[in-house]
């Protein structure tokens, strides 16, 4: 009986000191520039621009983000490419400086890719999944709006493309 009372007392103390986790959902839009690494001459452009839509949620130090990148169709002479990516990232945030406006951001996630290329009547289409790691900075303009710059390295498991280097700049709006 004494053990039960002791455990109940400890549980009561822990419950009294527990704080509710404040989760903030947000939406975002990024402009991204990617360089594509291929194993062979595949008819896939090595540089691509994209607009990326983002849905996410975060706490003070952690978050999760889903993204969709339909790519921007690129036309160069007789070459047309389009890279589509979607996936999710787990995020870590670290406040920088005393003002609380700057944060370091790191990410790790999974990505699914569809790569399409057309050159001189020949098509090169492929798809694959992969992993990605990223790092960047975020600056809070207001309490609800932040600017973010990120770099992601994407490993891709497909027959044509083996990696992407992605540089993005965007805005996040907390709901």
Per-residue pLDDT of 101-154, as tens digits, reads: 999 999 999 999 887 776 667 777 778 899 999 999 999 999 999 999 999 999
In whole angstroms, what separates CA 13 from the centre of its chain?
39
Q: Would you say domain 22-174 falls under CATH 3.40.50.150? A: no
CA dist 55 → 26, 28, 94, 114 (Å): 6, 6, 20, 20
85 forms bridges with which residues in the sheet? 69, 113
What pTM value is reported for the model?
0.80
SS3 58: strand
Q: Kindly report, residue by residue over 33-43, the tens digit of the pLDDT.
A: 988 877 665 55
The residue among 125, 126, 52 whose CA lies nearest residue 89 is 52
Structural domain boundaries in the chain: 22-174
């Amino acid at each position: 009986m004494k053990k039960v009372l002791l455990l109940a007392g400890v549980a009561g103390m822990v419950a009294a000191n527990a704080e509710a986790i404040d989760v903030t959902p947000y939406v975002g839009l990024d402009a991204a520039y990617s360089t594509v690494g291929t194993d062979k001459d595949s008819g896939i452009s090595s540089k691509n621009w994209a607009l990326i839509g983002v849905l996410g949620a975060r706490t003070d130090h952690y978050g999760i983000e889903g993204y969709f990148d339909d790519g921007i169709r690129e036309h160069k002479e007789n070459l047309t490419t389009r890279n589509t990516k979607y996936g999710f990232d787990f995020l870590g945030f670290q406040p920088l400086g005393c003002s609380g406006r700057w944060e370091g951001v790191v990410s790790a996630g999974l990505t699914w890719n569809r790569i399409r290329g057309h050159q001189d009547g020949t098509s090169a289409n492929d798809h694959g999944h992969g992993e990605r790691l990223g790092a960047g900075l975020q600056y809070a303009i207001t309490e609800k709006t932040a600017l973010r710059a990120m770099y992601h390295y994407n490993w891709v498991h497909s027959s044509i493309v083996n990696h992407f280097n992605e540089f993005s700049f965007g805005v996040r709006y907390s709901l």
